[in-house]
Every structure is written in structure tokens, then in C-alpha cells.
Structure 1
């Protein structure tokens, strides 16, 4: 039976896509068929094919199955701002139900593991009454939390984990991602997270000068996901 997870982060630029691509690579190395979706993106470039988001493109390269871009990233906004603000500026409205339908359609392809990557952190508004996190709740998908390791990450991680559980989702695991080459008491922060977060640590990704899916995958353990 296929396993599907919603990937969220402690903040924007926590490394959701880096970790997601690493998880997809680790699955590929186990000969698993994978799908990755980025339902909503903000910060896109205009191409001859239309707006394209770099994170969505990276996910498409990392997954083993091929899907059209419109299925991977159905809602794309050009400015790198909160999705509900970008939608309001463009006179568009996106709902959780509509996104869930798109995602379910894409996930009908036979596969082993799929990731649905959120935008920003857990509490990102989708419209004036719904959060993007509602997609994970609507689809009943467990959540993987990517913790961007920097000053303040303990507060961000614990509050996010608390919100995930309070909202009714299951925190299935978390990954520490070192977003800067130097962090004071890095190991102590990692240990505090291991002691405090109510889910298994799926890996600790160190600072990498060159981002490479295989290098990231070396630091991840996907067995608890399977």
C-alpha cells in the first residue's frame, strides 16, 4: 500500500525541498516508485510553458514517476509572498477541497511513496478561512517536520509540533536540516529536539556546500516511513 506524507517546515527556507528530495532519493535507492507534489508555490519564474517554481522542478527531477507540471504544482504565484496575499492580488481563490481533489488525482498513479510539500510553515493561510495545513487534515496524511537548525529553532519546532498534533494530524517524524555553516551549541540543540519532539528523528542533514540529493539521502533513514 502506498505511503503518503505531508512535509512542512518550522519556517520558510527550513529546507523542505532539500529534505524531500533526499527522502525521494533514499526511496529510489530502495527501488521504490515515488511521486512528489507541491500543490501551492509562491516565487515562480515565467517560462515559455508558464509559471514554474524551482522547488517543484527539483521535486519532479527527484521522483521516479513522471507527472505533468500542472499536476505537481497546480497553484503557482509569481511573487515570493504568502499564498493568500498573492491570490488576492490576482483575484484568485484556492480551497483545500479543490487542492485535495488535484492531489488525489495525481496519487492515483501506482506508486510506493508520495510526498506532498507545503509552503512555508504549518500555519500558512490558503484563503481567508483555511490554512494550507488543512490539506494534510483533509487527506489524512501523516506529517514530516523539517527543522531549520538556527537560533530560535527549538521554539519553532516545539510550537509547530504542538500545532500539528492539536490540529488532529499525526507527526510521523522530523528531520534536522543545518541551514547555516555555524550554529552555537548545534549538537546540544539536536539532542534537545530528540528529547522533546514526540516523533522519531529521520535524520540530521549537515551543512552541505553543494546540495546533492544523494549526499542528503546519506543522512536520512526512511525505514520508519515505510
Structure 2
């Protein structure tokens, strides 16, 4: 899979997506990811990519032309149109189902807005869907883009050492994850649950499932209701 991120702050994205699991996957050739500087595609000698909004208002709006030029360059490099996403609080809220869906695509482009947003005309021309990571406002689209890229990358073949690394995690299974423990066996007077020390895999699996059900009921009853409906 190949992921493109079009942004005014590529170094910010690279600082995160060049490290840990995603960074290792990129170096191993399991995943391709490129951060494009939108300013490189402006015709303005001062490398401006924004202007004041028509109709008045606070702040600046990102212009069509630099974004569209960047998009066309990406299409040319890939030899096809990538599935193009605009990170926006007006978009559909991102979840694990969407991460899995996107991970099955060959190429995706994530556009990061900034300032007061992006000229609607270029969004109408190139964007396939808008995605939000929650009901709050951030300075720009970079952090949301990194959230989406990280979640999608984990689903790609070969990025994690074993499929169970993600199928057993919170949300993927439909439930929140059970508690985890490691050495020492006793810490500050608190012991590891005895069942985890037995080596009895069936009992451990049952305990973990029960814990997932309990935690999900306490913290995300909405998820539990959806899980129960799907498993009736």
C-alpha cells in the first residue's frame, strides 16, 4: 500500500510516521508513505498558499491551485488517481471499520487543511470523502492525518508480526481490551490475577473475554450493544 500526505508541515508528519512500527514497516518495504509539501506546488514567488476569504471573516483560506497542482503531481507519479481524503470536522467519524476498508486500497492521499480551511472548489474536484477523528477543533489536519495513517498502516499485510497483534486489540474485536500484566508477579502488594499464572490457555481465554465484556459494559455500553447485536 502507498499513502500520500499533502501538508504544509511534512516534517511534523515524518517525525511521527518515521518511527516505531510504521517507521520500521517503511524501512522494510512493507508500506510506502510520502509526505508532500504543498508549498512546493505554488506559483507565487513568496510561496503563499492562502488568501483572505471572500465574504469576509477571520483568518485565511488555503487556495485551490497549490493543492490541485500537488494532487496532479501525485496522480502522475502513481499513474492513477488515489483515493483522496480530506481531514475535516465535517467528515464521517473515523473508526476501525474505516481503517480496515482503507487498508485494502492500493493508494490513498490524505489532504491536511490549515488556517480557516480549504477553498471548497478544490475539495469538490478531488476529494472522495471527508473524515473526522472527533468532535473538536485542531490547528490543522496533520495530527488527524497521522492518526488515520497509523491506524491504516497497522492493518496492512506484513506491518505487524502476526495478525493476532491487531485482531486481539481493543475495538477491532468489537470489545475493549482486557487488562494486561507483566513481571514482577507482585508489585506494591498487588498480585497478578492467579488465572494468568496457570498456563491453562482455555481458562485464560475465558477470563480475558469476561474482562473485555465487563470493561466494555462499564466504559462503552454503546460498543457492547453493537457487539451483542452482531453476535446474537
The two structures have a TM-score, normalised by structure 2, of 0.31
Higher relative contact order (CA 8 A, sep 6+): 1
Considering fraction of residues, name the structure with more strand.
Answer: 1
Q: Which has the larger radius of gyration?
A: 2
Considering fraction of residues, name the structure with more helix.
Answer: 2
The two structures have a TM-score, normalised by structure 1, of 0.32
